Chains A and B, each alone.
Chain A
């Protein structure tokens, strides 16, 4: 065990995320947000008229909606001033819509993703990879065998041009309309980049596809949009990773994710979020599951200054099911407010939520979740389980579940526990020759295991490394 631990320690995980590259761009918008900004972004992308109209309508909604300030115990967003954000930076690359070879990328971008280990992972474990740098996808590739089966995995901007009809039908219409919340509206106005995934009927994409999002510039906002359509009987696992170097000014990430799970389809969406600790991470992620469809959200929230993220699933068809596994780790100065939302709108639907959170060094975690069972959703069942670990007395751990049950033939259960790392557990491990730090790390690794075992091994290792990095040297 200890030699493995040493190996991990020798890998300088922190350096892998913390490096900064000189800012180079082909196009950079002005700070702030006006109709002009939106028009400029749309024009630079040469978008069809309907997309510009949607953006402008979303902008209107953004301007009308107040900042959310009345949620009990919510993170402080007073620093988030959209007028201080650079919403759009197009990196300086020759080919729009993503190169299909890493060699075609400018050296500093290539180097960035090398350091993050993306090309390496692509060789070993993935069906396809997309990489976004600032506001646009710079690399996009998928193994030929999936292309032959009709699977589409491409840059969202490119999808607007090349798959216009299907994008027009699904983009921020029935799943996440801009009116959903202020940051969804913001996203609708200035979104850029992200992935489009289309899996045809009865097709199983056996290895995961991944997108990696990197913010490099100070004070920028990243607003990528991910649209996944899994047709009847298909299956796909999508992984997203995110990181940014830390600056003194704040960064804003406000992504939008829409997933359409067709009849008997199965989509797994995994996120390892490691934004720098000056980033506000305000996302809207939602899936709609048809009859017999199954949606899984696996989320690890490690980074960011403040996160407000509640991946949601609407169980629309009979027998649809949802599975949420989330882990939140809040260290010094971090406020991770995350959870799950599930709407049971049809009979025989099932959901399970498993949430694990760790708070230390004055960090705050909050599980905020909503389960709604509509009238007529007979024989639905839901089980929510929240566990929290606290390391010290400066930290805060909250649990705020909301359950709305409008149907009697249901089985609803919520459970939560909060505990500290047991002195006895640590003593036991120490008596086996581990020092205090290692003992605590092992306990934490065990605590989050339900999450790591859902991820491909490369990502599980990554997550463990991040946890280890958070734990290093800060224990008393």
Chain B
């Protein structure tokens, strides 16, 4: 099966969304093209081995999940500095239409798959971040609440030459009551200019009635850095893809991921890097904990192209199982087309170390507390990668909350 026709969707729906926002013609066109791409687009690839499909996206009933004309969110954006532009996507169109037009879709083809096309056709919220040349800003925050059955968000970050920016985004469920399930779709494009440095942190903690699709992709120019932190705590089912194309010589990317699944949560976490220029470096680090009957799926791809001379590429993934009924699938892949490469990857799955537990208990710490301490400790190597205190505190707090 490739696609599901959503009957309530029509050209008219898309035009209404665009008209309400008084959007320029090119964007309306892009949306309509995405809409028609739905007819042929495929759902995102999911790993399948004999007898096991790692994530079942086909089971999602988009007909009932997608409610395009009643999208609602409450989003608070702070820039911390006048020199950087942080605006709701729609508002930004009036003043920065040219920059947006030049970059929109340049990183992530709206017709990449069925879910991206759906998202581009229907998005009503999102953020535009523009960092002019040489500007250095640390605390851009975007805190969003989802208040409708479905919400489609589109974010574009343009960092010009030698600029630097740290962006933290979070999404939670708001107070508005919604019957049945929800669907949240979040597309993020990051364009990092020469010698620019973008750190993009994302914290997803939606209620467990939500399905989340998130695809974030960055491209780097020469000497640029794009670092991602992707933390997933909420949602019933999460499909998250974090990707960097290292297109500039000497550019770098780090992808740090954390997840913590309880009950019957399902996380499908993907981290991918394409090395397409010389002297590029990538570091992929993901750590996750699974309790109850939660399940995780991880795919990491380090793709080294023919022209990627002198590449360094590393990947680590560790999953900790707290419950006997949890399940973890992992596939760390290396695709190497250039021999001048140093690449490694590793993946482990295990449980809390019995000796460590015994040691703590012998110090008269009760077993529950001891276990919780070890789980907190398990996250330390990834928390240390998070440079922003506020974000690290948020993640720590959510870990603690889950351990109670």
Residues of A that sit less than 8 Å from B by CB = 73, 370, 372, 375, 388, 390-393, 395-420
CA distance A125 to B47 in the complex (A): 45
* A418 in contact with B336 (CB, 8 Å): yes
Interface residues on B, range: 35 or more
Selected A-B contacts with CB under 8 Å, 11 pairs: A73-B335, A388-B334, A390-B341, A397-B336, A398-B334, A399-B345, A405-B321, A409-B324, A412-B350, A414-B345, A420-B340
Question: Tally of A-B residue pairs with Cβ under 8 A?
Answer: 116
Provided the pairs A391-B339, A404-B329, A409-B351 are in contact, do residues A397 and B334 lie with their beta carbons within 8 angstroms?
A: yes
B residues 323-362 near A (Cβ < 8 Å) are: 323-351
Max count, chain A CB within 10 A of own CB: residue among B319, B327, B329, B339: B339
CA distance A407 to B321 in the complex (A): 8
CB neighbours of B390 from chain A (8 A): none
Q: Which residue of B lies closest to A417 (CB)?
A: B344
Provided the pairs A370-B49, A393-B306 are in contact, do residues A412 and B336 lie with their beta carbons within 8 angstroms?
A: no
B52 on the A face (CB < 8 A):
yes
Contact of A393 among B326, B334, B337, B348 (CB under 8 A): B337
Residues of B that sit less than 8 Å from A by CB = 47, 49, 52, 306, 319, 321-351
* A393 in contact with B333 (CB, 8 Å): no
Provided the pairs A370-B49, A398-B336 are in contact, do residues A416 and B326 lie with their beta carbons within 8 angstroms?
A: no
* B346 in contact with A413 (CB, 8 Å): yes
CA distance A153 to B379 in the complex (A): 56
* A416 in contact with B345 (CB, 8 Å): yes
A343 to chain B, nearest CB (A): 10
CB neighbours of A410 from chain B (8 A): 321, 349-351
Given contacts A398-B334, A405-B327, A417-B343, 5 further A-B contacts (CB under 8 A): A391-B339, A402-B47, A403-B328, A403-B347, A408-B325
CB neighbours of A413 from chain B (8 A): 346-348
Provided the pairs A393-B339, A398-B333, A405-B349 are in contact, do residues A415 and B344 lie with their beta carbons within 8 angstroms?
A: yes
CB neighbours of B52 from chain A (8 A): 372, 404
* B327 in contact with A400 (CB, 8 Å): no
* A390 in contact with B336 (CB, 8 Å): yes
Closest 7 pairs (CB-CB, A-B): A390-B339, A408-B321, A412-B349, A399-B334, A418-B343, A420-B339, A415-B346
Provided the pairs A415-B345, A418-B343 are in contact, do residues A403 and B331 lie with their beta carbons within 8 angstroms?
A: yes
Give the secondary structure class of A's interface. Answer: strand
CA distance A393 to B339 in the complex (A): 5
CB neighbours of B306 from chain A (8 A): 393
* B334 in contact with A408 (CB, 8 Å): no
CB neighbours of B335 from chain A (8 A): 73, 396, 398
Provided the pairs A410-B351, A415-B346 are in contact, do residues A395 and B329 lie with their beta carbons within 8 angstroms?
A: no
Provided the pairs A410-B350, A411-B350 are in contact, do residues A400 and B331 lie with their beta carbons within 8 angstroms?
A: yes
* B330 in contact with A403 (CB, 8 Å): yes
Contact of A418 among B325, B341, B346 (CB under 8 A): B341
Contact of A396 among B321, B337, B346, B351 (CB under 8 A): B337
B370 to chain A, nearest CB (A): 17
Provided the pairs A413-B346, A418-B334 are in contact, do residues A402 and B329 lie with their beta carbons within 8 angstroms?
A: yes
* A408 in contact with B344 (CB, 8 Å): no
Q: Which residue of A lies closest to B48 (CB)?
A: A70
CA distance A370 to B335 in the complex (A): 17
CB neighbours of A393 from chain B (8 A): 306, 337-340
CA distance A414 to B349 in the complex (A): 9
Provided the pairs A399-B334, A406-B327, A407-B324 are in contact, do residues A416 and B346 lie with their beta carbons within 8 angstroms?
A: yes
Q: Which residue of B lies closest to A396 (CB)?
A: B337
* B339 in contact with A395 (CB, 8 Å): yes
Contact of A408 among B329, B333, B351 (CB under 8 A): B351
Max count, chain A CB within 10 A of own CB: residue among B321, B336, B343, B348: B336
CB neighbours of A390 from chain B (8 A): 336, 338-339, 341
CB neighbours of A398 from chain B (8 A): 333-336
CB neighbours of A388 from chain B (8 A): 334, 336
